[in-house]
Structure 1
Amino acid sequence: MGGLVDFIEFSGGGGFIGHSYFLSDPAVKADLVALIRDRVKAGDPRRQLVEIKRPFWRILDVQQAWR
């Protein structure tokens, strides 16, 4: 059984106070949809996350993945 909290790292832009990142980045939007609508947990292949060390994850940068 997993822990209660997962921490997701995102190194993209975040605007002035750091809360607008989910509006501008498609990877963050997709991750939020998978989490909230589909209830997909971190570590599931349907979420584009890279494990750092549980419970820490990083959102996979889709643009970098294609390079």
Structure 2
Amino acid sequence: GLQSENERLKVKISEIRLIDRAKCILIQYLNMSEPQAHRYIEKQAMDLRVTKKEIAESILKTYEL
């Protein structure tokens, strides 16, 4: 039980890091504020019916070489 909970939390932390990196890219390249970047990722996830993680991955793919 404890080990599976620990694993679940590790996955959640890695997702949050990924989303934060995507937010930083939006801030850097598109001159968004942090709340604007957060809202953009959330809205894209809702509109496209995918997870925030998938949106973050596509942002990273677009802007990172």
- Shared fold (TM-score, shorter chain, > 0.5): no
Give the structure with the higher percent strand: 1
Q: State the TM bucket, normalised to the shorter chain.
A: 0.3 to 0.5
Which structure has the bigger radius of gyration? Answer: 2
Give the structure with the higher percent helix: 2
